Structure 1
């Protein structure tokens, strides 16, 4: 199998228009310009339990998954995706939600779901640095996996 660069994986966001209604492909904005790092911050909850039908060794069961990605880079207020994130900085509750679509680097699969934006940075850093950008997108439920068109 060929190794693929992380930059080939796509992260797209879209505003929430009508609750529960997925956006069309043209509604999505790619979160990529001046983004230098994306960290998979998925959190898993597990339960370790041993059973009498085995030898008593504990088995790990994943009981919950909270998918999340953290973005970092430089801020461009004219980039539509970064502008959407920046506009949510002083919002709370439902106003922090967006659609998040992740496309695999091999362009074979995609994961789509509602997500909450947190840890927004849109203009941050030392005086001699370029303005920093960052945010965390956390899926509110398990995203739906689909083949990529």
Structure 2
């Protein structure tokens, strides 16, 4: 596969159904978090343990025991953008009120969906002479599942 531009990877969000948090969103009703977003960084945390056993030659091996996949978004705030407005609406919320569904459409066509928590929400900040800044972190609550792609 040829190299692909980062802008071709899509990030979509949807609010949770408060009556049934396990109810997955309809993809057509999700909001793309893209307008005025200039940087998206994969800030996944991995926890590992090193071990050595007698089945090898004594060289330590590394085992990944957990991951917390999270994505950091940065750009310019636009209150009229539906995806940014959803994120901004969660700024003064706590607990389950910070939950959203997060769908990633990778450049290779694979899609990953999972329940996630919003944190570090910035919806209007910065220097007086600059445009308002937007930012947030979307942290999956567990490893997202691969979902079917539409041909």
- TM-score tier (shorter): over 0.9
How far off its partner does 1:113 sit?
A: 0.1
Q: Name the counterpart of 2:101.
A: 99
How far off its partner does 1:27 sit?
A: 2.1
SS in 2 for 1:85: helix
Q: Name the counterpart of 2:15.
A: 15
How far off its partner does 1:146 sit?
A: 2.5
Distance in 1, Cα, partners of 2:94 & 2:29: 22
How far off its partner does 1:25 sit?
A: 1.1
Identify unmatched segments of 5+ residues in structure 1. none
Q: 1:26-70, CA deviations, whole angstroms, 9 ceiling, x for partnerless residues?
A: 221000000000000001000100001111111110000100000
How far off its partner does 1:110 sit?
A: 0.5
Q: 1:52-96, CA deviations, whole angstroms, 9 ceiling, x for partnerless residues?
A: 111111111000010000000000000000000000000000000
SS in 2 for 1:47: strand
Using the size of structure 2 for normalisation, the TM-score is 0.96
Using the size of structure 1 for normalisation, the TM-score is 0.97
**Superposed counterparts of 1:1-149, under 5 Å:** 1-17=1-17, 18-106=20-108, 108-149=109-150
- Once superposed, what is the RMSD of the aligned Cα atoms? 0.8
